[in-house]
């Protein structure tokens, strides 16, 4: 019963944060926005804890307004609660290989929201994604851990997001990303889930602070979508 109450508290926190979305607007998503050039990398979108591929519907729509096609925007779904991020990274590597084979592209771009930033970056640094990723973007990723992860300490993935965990210690050892991978993080003081909010910031990357955007708001804010399009371009 105690675990159920804690699960409800965590889910309530995640869902509640998304209710008060307030974002700035981007000039990239106006009627005059020009489409991007053909031949760009396919983009893999990786959701976070308690998430699903449908979390990306709003951002996909905004990226299509910037010139992407449905075929170039691929979601990756996975078990975000009882499966270690290390295992998810291995499964993500297989997905990357599948996309490369299907599209004929030499590399993919990756956008991770929240915990999706962790398993995707682990894949780039330590698993089968090495040499296969061009641009990596983290939206509200707990890249240095989150104190709120303790609310779900019975979940292996929440324990891995606890500051100082063995998983994070390995993930953050050495360079943030291997040479040849362009990295961008986007975070907001209004996050409300990742604590501290600037846990997203990683050394050596393009770290962008935005105002008034909540944790789930990162997925549907026009300004954030514009920044993502710029990072991928």
**Tens of pLDDT, residues 103-150:** 999 999 999 999 999 999 999 999 999 999 999 999 999 999 999 887
Q: Is the pLDDT of residue 17 over 50?
A: no
* pLDDT of res. 29: 38
Domain layout of the chain by residue ranges: 41-232
Up-side HSE of residue 67: CA atoms within 13 Å toward CB? 17
CATH assignment of 41-232, given 3.40.50.1820, 3.40.50.1970, 1.20.1250.20, 3.50.50.60?
Answer: 3.40.50.1820
Which residues, 6+ apart, have CB-to-CB distance to 123 below 8 Å?
89, 90, 92, 93, 96, 129
Q: 135, 41 in Cβ contact below 8 A?
A: yes
Quote the pTM value.
0.84
């Amino acid at each position: 019963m105690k675990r159920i109450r804690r699960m409800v508290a965590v889910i309530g926190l995640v869902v509640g944060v998304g209710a008060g979305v307030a974002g700035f607007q981007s000039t990239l998503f106006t009627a005059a926005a020009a489409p991007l050039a053909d031949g760009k990398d396919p983009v893999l979108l990786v959701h976070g804890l308690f998430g699903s591929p449908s979390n990306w519907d709003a951002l996909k729509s905004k990226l299509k307004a910037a010139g992407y096609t449905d075929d170039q925007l691929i979601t990756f779904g996975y078990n975000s609660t009882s499966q270690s991020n290390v295992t998810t990274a291995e499964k993500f590597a297989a997905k990357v290989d599948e996309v490369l084979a299907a599209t004929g592209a030499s590399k993919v771009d990756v956008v991770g929201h929240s915990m999706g930033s962790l398993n995707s970056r682990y894949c780039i640094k330590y698993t089968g994604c090495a040499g296969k990723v061009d641009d990596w973007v983290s939206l509200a990723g707990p890249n240095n851990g989150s104190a709120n992860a303790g609310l779900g300490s019975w979940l292996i993935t929440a324990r891995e997001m606890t500051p100082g965990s063995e998983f994070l210690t390995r993930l953050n050892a050495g360079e943030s990303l291997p040479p040849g991978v362009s990295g961008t993080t986007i975070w907001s003081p209004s996050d409300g889930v990742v604590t501290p909010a600037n846990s997203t910031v990683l050394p050596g990357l393009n770290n962008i602070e935005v105002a008034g955007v909540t944790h789930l708001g990162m997925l549907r804010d026009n300004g954030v979508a514009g920044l993502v399009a710029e990072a991928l371009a």
